[in-house]
Structure 1
């Protein structure tokens, strides 16, 4: 999609693309999903983009996977043990697991993947920065030694999203910091990569030699059974086109539907609504590396002080049962929930914001806000905040691009001051993207460095919770990121589909009625 095209032109193009390029309605054995847009490269180890993870987790697998309570369970791993006070981790692999190339998975593949992930992966340094060695100590045994315990190690390797996806040894070793090539999209998952036609579709097909686990499916854990011959992921940026495509039978599933359609679609018998059990939350990242926002905590607090998050959530998500204005980064009832710092979450005080901005030395310079319309909620939130900030005398220049362009631009600190994304529920604070100093935003102040180290190196839950309380307070002081609020997103699917996963669009164990 070309960034310079108007929204109307892009929507029209999407409609034409969808109608012409979707797999034929009723194609036997093919599930068709309408995604929010073209994915970046499917090297899931290097990216946290949801659109890549949605496709990639059908192809690539991890050593562990989260169950429905977000507890990590063995997937490619068979068992593990921890020694030396938590500094030695020994993982035994399942035997007989095949890659899509028909090569058997061994410890050498895991070691090569772990080494690459530690050097270049989106979340790899959170574990591997303290690794003193990682070795294949048997054909199916991997031994990881750390300089200090890591209480989150299993959670850190339990998802493909920026995580430790396991690639064949030769592919992992030669890839380096560049995305792996399409010909090397070789994993152990229930589906294997077949074809990618840019701006048309990505297609995967059932891997007949897949070896599922014996446990009952639970969340992302347990048995993964491919019940479709193929899955075709079609980029459809316009939300209306995604919905009408499912209603007409052109697609079987469509993701990320806007809140203003929720009430009507809930009553529409041509679709089934799939409301998420776990919230996502919008995030506005401040640029801590370059530009007007760098180290200017008072200006960041001025921006947050001007905002009414409830209004943005209402516009973006519609009915109240789809959102909750809560400043905690973890839901109430979870072990990590805390209210520290949340007084600064949504003050909506224009006068105070003006005062803080003046004290920060702000003189009206345009603040570049990078946002995409592929996620309509992102755009809606940004538009509301831009108006509210104008009332406080803070000049925001919205830079509207497609999602693929945003993913490229956010890695270039000279291009933006704030960018908009969202985050899924995390089972551990170390998995929050803003906790990663290498993630765009690049928050790495002396204060967070010390607290991050303390959080990672402890395996005592009470002590780690106390550290997280301090970190959330620091987030509201230094404002590396602004949380918009909790949103319960929903997708729509054909009424014919059964076995859909409430944790998100994954299509193993899914079939037609």
Structure 2
């Protein structure tokens, strides 16, 4: 069973957290929640990019057929139930909840779902990955859709949990010009670099059940949510401490003591929020050399990088396994060249690979300050091994745009959550920036797709992790706990990887 723990550290924060269960049934409020985010999203079309910033904002407007509960199991959201799977494992029949309305007043039907999912299959990175397995996707009456696959694809439902949002068929366009969903909040106004304003959707049809991570009852308690781009982390901290913001995301861990001692705010820690990785460009440039990628592995010191980024070990852990201890998928299989940094050994590998001194372009952003600090330490270790490093510091929107062009970078720093299904890790997609394509990956992933039991899936996952360490499409730095902050008087907030604000009451 997957274990995902979240907790609040401090007496005041615990008090904020404690009322969440009963607040699922709280009366609507006329209050406003002002949420400080790390920057301006590059788009509100989540099919174009599933970056955390876009996912966090969009989940209030749009919904998917399935979502994750507290154990990171897939559960219905717009679907009425788990799929009915044929005996041969190739046909998935999905019943839809009836009477769900879009923000424009239209009732969701299977035609909307099919049109939306076809767009996702054509456009989204993960959708393209799924598309290779889809023989057909059709409506079967107004409230049922049917996937027919050409081969087994065990993570299909897990993949439908993010990015595959359901839109009215009449609003589909590329690019989107109307942002109409089924979620608890309606997009009212977007002023770039100022705010994104959402208001309560009075006709929202909530799923049933107790709130559990992203699953269960969703109540739009706040009349309005304003997502405000605040690229500077210290400005987010000061705004929270002054009472300007009700929630501030992705705060530097150095702010923990100030938040704990404040009479207006409290710190929120989310354990094992995710993992940091350095992703390699395997399509063009220096990192097309497997030997050079392995030299990068050997040169780096994950402990020093994580300590520089997070200051104290209460905020991070160093673990070569892609999934941390306590998760079903944790394994030591295949871990190699993950240690305390071997400059001499890495230098020898550079010489053997014929490295000619071409600068390695390391792209990072200061909007996630821990990305930047990790990059600084990585630069020092890589230079000690003999690499020449061109550290390129850009804003996050620029990084997510530039990483799509293989001509512009060699390594970029990012972070990810721990998905419910390991095959949905971004890097395993042939189309994700980095363009990881190899025979051993393909064979390991194929074994996973054909697995029908948890035991067989785990064995296949061990092969995938082994391939990742050998091919080096990425370097896992470590696991991190996320720090955010919430204003005192705000009730019902529960930490989740993509912070959400349904079931949350504004301060009076």
Same fold (TM > 0.5): yes
Q: Secondary structure at the match of 1:447?
A: helix
Q: Secondary structure at the match of 1:444?
A: coil
Whether 1:224 aligns to 2:218 is yes
| Count of residues paired in the alignment | 477
Distance 1:383 1:277 in 2: 25
Distance 2:88 2:339 in 1: 42
Aligned to 1:128: 131
Whether 1:68 aligns to 2:70 is yes
| 2:32 maps to which of 23, 30, 47 | 30
Give the structure, 1 or 2, with the largest relative contact order (CA under 8 Å, sep 6 or more). Answer: 2
Aligned to 1:200: 194
Distance 1:109 1:345 in 2: 47
Whether 1:423 aligns to 2:416 is yes
Cα distance, 1:84 vs. partner?
Answer: 3.2
Whether 1:488 aligns to 2:491 is no
Aligned to 1:308: 301
Distance 2:69 2:175 in 1: 29
| 1:327 maps to which of 320, 340, 345 | 320
Q: Which moved more, 1:355-364 or 1:58-67?
A: 355-364
Whether 1:284 aligns to 2:278 is yes
Distance 2:271 2:307 in 1: 19
- CA deviations on 1:184-238 (whole Å, 9 max, x unpaired) are 1000000011111111111111101101122111110011100111111111011
Distance 2:305 2:113 in 1: 44
Aligned to 2:349: 356
TM-score (norm 2): 0.92
Distance 1:87 1:460 in 2: 16
Aligned to 2:168: 168
- CA deviations on 1:393-443 (whole Å, 9 max, x unpaired) are 111111111111111100011000111110011111111110111110010
Query: Contact conserved, 2:31 with 2:506, CA < 8 A, in 1?
Result: no
Aligned to 2:7: none
What stretches of structure 1 of length at least 5 have no aligned partner?
Answer: 1-26
Distance 2:252 2:275 in 1: 15
Query: Contact conserved, 1:35 with 1:235, CA < 8 A, in 2?
Result: yes
Aligned-residue RMSD, C-alpha: 1.4
Aligned to 1:401: 394
Q: Secondary structure at the match of 1:422?
A: strand
Distance 1:134 1:331 in 2: 36
Whether 1:110 aligns to 2:113 is yes
Distance 1:393 1:246 in 2: 43
Aligned to 2:236: 242
| 2:443 maps to which of 447, 450, 454 | 450
Cα distance, 1:264 vs. partner?
Answer: 3.6
Distance 1:268 1:431 in 2: 40
Q: Which moved more, 1:242-251 or 1:114-123?
A: 114-123
Distance 2:380 2:276 in 1: 18
TM-score (norm 1): 0.91
Query: Contact conserved, 1:262 with 1:319, CA < 8 A, in 2?
Result: no
Distance 1:242 1:473 in 2: 40
Distance 1:70 1:427 in 2: 5
Distance 1:166 1:364 in 2: 49
Distance 1:469 1:319 in 2: 31
Query: Contact conserved, 2:96 with 2:144, CA < 8 A, in 1?
Result: yes
Query: Contact conserved, 2:280 with 2:411, CA < 8 A, in 1?
Result: yes
What stretches of structure 2 of length at least 5 have no aligned partner?
Answer: 1-28
Whether 1:274 aligns to 2:274 is no
Whether 1:189 aligns to 2:169 is no
